[in-house]
Amino acid sequence: MSVTPDASRQPATAARDSGVEQASRFEAVIGLEVHVELNTATKMFCGCAIDFGGAPNVRTCPVCLGQPGSLPMINAKAVESAIRLG
Amino acid sequence: MHPLVAADAVGLQRLLKAREVSATEITQAHLDRIADTDPHVSAFIRTLDQAALDHARDIDRRLSAGQEVGALAGLPLALKDILCTKGVETTCASRVLQHYRPPYDATVVRKLRQADAIVVGKANMDEFAMGSSCENSAFFPTRNPWDLERVPGGSSGGSVAAVAANDAPLGIGTDTGGSVRQPAALCGVIGVKPTYGLVSRFGLIAFASSLDQVGPIARAVPDAALLLEAIAGHDPRDATSIPTDVPDLHTTLEAGVEGLRVGVVSEFMGAGMSDGVRSVVTAAIDRLGALGAEVVDVSLPHAGYGVSAYYLIAPSECSSNLSRYDGVRYGLRVDGETTEQMMASTRDAGFGPEVKRRIMIGTYALSAGYYDAYYAQAQRVRTLIIRDYEAAYAGCDVLASPTSPTTAFKLGERAADPLSMYLSDVYTIPSNLAGAPALSLPVGLDDDGLPVGLQLMAPVLGEPVLFRAARALERELAIDSTPRGNGSLAQVAA
């Protein structure tokens, strides 16, 4: 895609700045979002096992299906691990 | 009326233990009573005749074989249709769940089955427990057995009307802002909202999770105590369940009120109350004094803001809880060209006007920019009300007030004016905000012959003193809880 510069709307300095000079006006801030799979035996909010490879719909319950009336119960081991990870 | 349906739960239990009647006879008498009364009262969305009789026969078989039976053996019970029953439709009186069959039992339902209570039917209610008249049911309104042209109150109107109509000695309701106590007052029976966390909410279809609590309904205080002891207790599947022992209500039940300090809440005795309610409630409080209680005036200065705070907190929680009804996983689905259209059409067809109103209020109150002004402010008011109660209980054992500002109103009378309906719960809402127990006890009739309820309140986990005070007054007043008079059930079903 080509962009035709509109000379009349360019700031006076822009034409003189090189690419390096332009970049130097920005500060690089880099954040890392790290996802870790915790080695718990059960899911985050219910007691269902988290093993892979079983028959369909056997490692489910009213809680992880979000059935009406069900309530999540937080996995204590996951909380403990998260605290240890800081 | 058949003597078995006139009897209270403790009386039926005595007859069953003495083998003078069978559980099957008790159950059949109540199913026959429902067949006579429910065409007039409409307390039940569905009756469970076959399952009830099968359970009763099983209890009789075990009794004959000398085996153990549960603490509520053979006692018929009306269950609000908000508690999940495995394989049996649980609708919340909503089109969105009209054909929903839960794959599991609520903890309360499991405890009731283990205690051998006979669930005779799933009772009508305001849709998703939102309402104070039972007129918000998507299916049909329930009528008050004392006057069939009047509402039973709500939202647990079906369970309460069933107990008042002698369809069952016991009922289970849920109370988020007064939904057990207000209908109990309007139908002349006992309704209890226990301490938040005393009874498990697992399997109770959520309306406002920080306020919802399951409570017993009965025609006698000892019956209500028996039922609460059976359903209370810690549940590891409810993170808000209190890890405490089941309260012992029976040891002190007959201990009387001598030496107890009863605080009359000044803010709940002011304007807005009908003259009939005022005179009956005042007389009942005087009787507590005559029985040896010390009656004093107390103030809950912030309680007047309770309704306003409640109608921000409860709709906020409801807007979140009800977002799951999207037509994808369970319940109603109305097809649309896109997924979004399917969800919008499903929710438009599935929810009634009051539910939609509360979802909109809650969504607005939680939206960015308004959260601090509405939801956070309401939570601050809640804290002030909790402190008001703490200050009041520094000098009192229990508090007293009317349960409802008026007796039962006519069907349709308040349906067009949500605000007047919301004010039905002005005296009951503060206990939900504080998480503290309260009950409604029938204490007399007004000039129109309609029941008046006295509300007694106690500190968190103060159920023993709450039941003790209620029992003392019940014994003293010896109220006849049978609906009677012009327009009542007695004129159409003997």
- The answer to whether A79 contacts chain B (CB < 8 Å) is no
Q: Looking at chain A, which residue has its C-alpha nearest residue B86?
A: A62
Q: Looking at chain A, which residue has its C-alpha nearest residue B236?
A: A73
**Of B137, B150, B120, B133, nearest to B34 (Cα)?**
B120
- The answer to whether B237 contacts chain A (CB < 8 Å) is yes
Query: Residue A6 pLDDT more than 80?
Result: no
Which residues of B participate in catalysis according to the annotation? 80, 155, 179
B452: tokens are 């008046």
- The answer to whether B92 contacts chain A (CB < 8 Å) is yes
The reply to whether residue B104 touches residue A67, judged by beta carbons under 8 angstroms, is yes
Query: Which among B201, B205, B236 has the least Cβ separation from residue A68?
Result: B205
* Residue B129 backbone dihedrals phi, psi, to 5 degrees: 65, 20
Chain A hits for B97, Cβ within 8 Å: 68
**Per-residue pLDDT band at A3 (split at 50, 70, 90):** very low
Distance between A80 CA and the closest CA of chain B, angstroms: 17
Chain B hits for A73, Cβ within 8 Å: 236-239
**Per-residue pLDDT band at A2 (split at 50, 70, 90):** very low
B133: tokens are 């008249």
pLDDT at position B485: 93
Chain A hits for B93, Cβ within 8 Å: none
Task: Spell out the per-residue pLDDT of chain B, length 494, in tens.
Answer: 999 999 999 999 999 999 999 999 999 999 999 999 999 999 999 999 999 999 999 999 999 999 999 999 999 999 999 999 999 999 999 999 999 999 999 999 999 999 999 999 999 999 999 999 999 999 999 999 999 999 999 999 999 999 999 999 999 999 999 999 999 999 999 999 999 999 999 999 999 999 999 999 999 999 999 999 999 999 999 999 999 999 999 999 999 999 999 999 999 998 889 999 999 999 999 999 999 999 999 999 999 999 999 999 999 999 999 999 999 999 999 999 999 999 999 999 999 999 999 999 999 999 989 999 999 999 999 999 999 999 999 999 999 999 999 999 999 999 888 888 888 899 999 999 999 999 999 999 999 999 999 999 999 999 999 999 999 999 999 999 999 999 999 999 87
To test the contact with chain A by mutation, choose from B81, B82, B84 the residue with the greatest count of A C-beta atoms within 10 A, namely B84
- The answer to whether A49 contacts chain B (CB < 8 Å) is no
- The answer to whether B421 contacts chain A (CB < 8 Å) is no
Contact B52, B170 (CB under 8 A): no
The reply to whether residue B97 touches residue A68, judged by beta carbons under 8 angstroms, is yes
In tens, the pLDDT along B329-341 reads 999 999 999 999 9
Query: Which among B206, B236, B329 has the least Cβ separation from residue A69?
Result: B206
Chain A hits for B329, Cβ within 8 Å: 65-66
To test the contact with chain B by mutation, choose from A58, A60, A71 the residue with the greatest count of B C-beta atoms within 10 A, namely A71
The B residues from 317 to 346 touching A (CB cutoff 8 Å) are: 324, 329-331
- The answer to whether B129 contacts chain A (CB < 8 Å) is no
The reply to whether residue B83 touches residue A69, judged by beta carbons under 8 angstroms, is yes
Residue carrying structure tokens 């918000």: B136
How does DSSP assign A30-60, residue by residue? -----------SB-SSSS-B--SS--TTSS-
Query: Residue A16 pLDDT more than 80?
Result: no
pLDDT at position A1: 41
The reply to whether residue A68 touches residue B330, judged by beta carbons under 8 angstroms, is yes
Size of interface A-B (CB pairs under 8 A): 48
Q: Is the dihedral of CA B183, B187, B192, B197 positive or negative?
A: negative
**Of B410, B462, B455, nearest to B435 (Cα)?**
B462
Query: Which among B202, B205, B329 has the least Cβ separation from residue A65?
Result: B329
pLDDT at position A22: 78
Query: Which among A67, A68, A71 has the least Cβ separation from residue B238?
Result: A71
**A55-61: average pLDDT:** 92
Chain A hits for B330, Cβ within 8 Å: 67-68
Distance between A43 CA and the closest CA of chain B, angstroms: 14
**Of B468, B429, B404, nearest to B187 (Cα)?**
B404
* Residue B265 backbone dihedrals phi, psi, to 5 degrees: -75, 110
Classify residue A50 by burial, with Cβ atoms within 10 Å: 0-12, 13-18, 19+: middle
Domains of chain B: 3-253+462-491 (3.90.1300.10)
- The answer to whether B370 contacts chain A (CB < 8 Å) is no
Chain B hits for A67, Cβ within 8 Å: 84, 102-104, 330
* Average pLDDT over chain A, rounded to an integer: 82
B249: CB partners within 8 A, 6+ apart = B225, B228, B229, B463, B464, B467
**Of B190, B293, B197, nearest to B239 (Cα)?**
B197
Query: Which among A61, A62, A71 has the least Cβ separation from residue B201?
Result: A71
Helix (H, G, I), strand (E, B) or coil at A19: helix
Chain B hits for A66, Cβ within 8 Å: 324, 329
To test the contact with chain A by mutation, choose from B85, B104, B318, B320 the residue with the greatest count of A C-beta atoms within 10 A, namely B104
- The answer to whether B87 contacts chain A (CB < 8 Å) is no
CA distance A53 to B478: 65
pLDDT at position A51: 87
To test the contact with chain A by mutation, choose from B94, B234, B237 the residue with the greatest count of A C-beta atoms within 10 A, namely B237
To test the contact with chain B by mutation, choose from A67, A73, A75 the residue with the greatest count of B C-beta atoms within 10 A, namely A67
CA distance B190 to B270: 24
Amino acid at B252: T
- The answer to whether B394 contacts chain A (CB < 8 Å) is no
